[in-house]
Structure 1
């Protein structure tokens, strides 16, 4: 296993250097104050997810190497000629980490710098950045998946990057419907999680009830 170099609770110039590099690469750590807090953890998790590294939220030697051996230009940029791929969708969503959660938000799909989302708007906005139209409401999203004959089990979706995960209201005593994107690692998501967390990397666990592929997105 790689040696852990920096982790939550640390406070140092090295943390500040990591925060600055994450920001340069498009993953907001909420500033560069040298304090390894929750937002830095989330930014590191998003970076790790984009690069196919273990999603720990700590900076180990492998993560450090990936951070500082990559060129300054966007290393996760996708060739438009490839079309709206699931990889591109996830990379767009990951770069919204630590953006604000606003219940009922109406994200401006023409604004590539949008920074306020609810769970469904993060997904419809991310799709729009790739030229794919997808409904704004979570129930409408899973209905669109079903209508296209693209439903999967949650277990299947957990291993598919960019698959849609849906939770019906009432599941595990929850009040509202919710929707997230699978990162494809088996148990991680990127989602607009709630006002306390904003856009964050989450876990699948037993949180979701339905799943499927998004019409118009190209999956491997």
Structure 2
């Protein structure tokens, strides 16, 4: 098992070095202050998800090596000739980690540096960066998936990187509909969670009621 080097609650120059590197790679930590707080943990989780590492939120030897190595091929760089893929969609969404959640916001799909999303806008904006048009409302998104005959079970979607996960209002007492993207790991998501967390890595658990593949996206 890889040794844990840094974790939430730590405060030192090594944390600042990690924060600077994550920011350089496009994963916002909310600042470079040397304190390993929630936002740094979320950025580490997003980086780990993008690089196929266990999503712990802590820095172990493997995560440190991936952060500071110079790989011959960046796993988050996608060949445009492959077209829009589930992998590319997820990697775009992961780089919005710690962006602000604003309920009902209208994300500018022409702005590659947009930093305010609600749950559905994160997904429609991320799709738009790949040239895929998807409605900006969660119910419309899952209806689009269903109309294309691309619905599948939530459990199946958990293993499909970039699959859409939808929760109906009232499920488990939830007040609103909600939507997220599967990371394909079985139980992790990337989603605009709410005003407290912004865009963050989450878990599937029993939170979602419907799921499916997004039309126009190629899944491996």
Q: Is the 8 A contact 2:50 2:75 kept in 1?
A: no
Note the 1:1-220 alignment, pairs <5 A.
Answer: 1-70=1-70, 75-220=75-220
* Mapped contact 1:25–1:74 kept (Cα < 8 A): no
Deviation at 1:72, TM superposition (A): 11
1:70 Cα shift? Answer: 2.6
Conserved 8 A contact 1:166-1:177:
yes
Aligned with 2:5: secondary structure? strand
* Equivalent residues of 2:22, 2:44 under 8 A apart: yes
CA distance in 2, matches of 1:102, 1:91: 21
> What is the CA–CA distance in structure 2 between the aligned matches of 1:71 and 1:122, rounded to whole Å?
29
How far is 1:76 from its partner?
1.3
Give the whole-Å Cα distance in 2 for the aligned partners of 1:160 and 1:43.
Answer: 22
CA contact (8 A) 2:103 2:117 kept: yes
Give secondary structure in 2 for the equivalent of 1:84.
coil
Task: Return the offset for 1:79.
Answer: 1.1
TM-score, length-scaled by structure 1: 0.98
Q: CA RMSD in A?
A: 1.2
* Distance in structure 1 (CA, Å) of the matches to 2:180 and 2:52: 19
* Number of residues of Structure 1 aligned to a counterpart in Structure 2: 220
Deviation at 1:77, TM superposition (A): 1.4
C-alpha contact (below 8 Å) 1:145/1:214 kept by paired residues:
yes
Q: Aligned equivalents of 1:151 and 1:23: distance in 2?
A: 36
Q: Distance in 1 between matches of 2:73 and 2:42?
A: 21
Q: Give yes or no for contact 2:183–2:189 (8 Å, CA) kept in 1.
A: yes
How many Å separate the matches in 2 of 1:2 and 1:22? 20
Report the secondary structure of 1:179's partner residue. Answer: strand
Q: 1:163 to 1:197 in 2, by over 3 A?
A: same
Structure 1 residue 71 displacement after superposition? 5.4
Structure 2 length-normalised TM = 0.98
Contact 2:51 2:75 in 1 (8 A): no
The structure-2 alpha-carbon separation of the partners of 1:82 and 1:72, relative to structure 1 and needing over 3 Å to count, comes to: closer
Ranges in structure 2 where 5+ consecutive residues have no aligned partner: none
Partner Cα separation in structure 2 for residue 72 and residue 36 of structure 1: 29
In structure 1, stretches of 5+ residues that fail to align are none
| Alpha-carbon contact 1:25-1:72 (below 8 Å) kept | no
User: Residues 167 and 209 of structure 1 are in contact (CA less than 8 Å); yes or no, is this contact kept in structure 2?
Assistant: yes
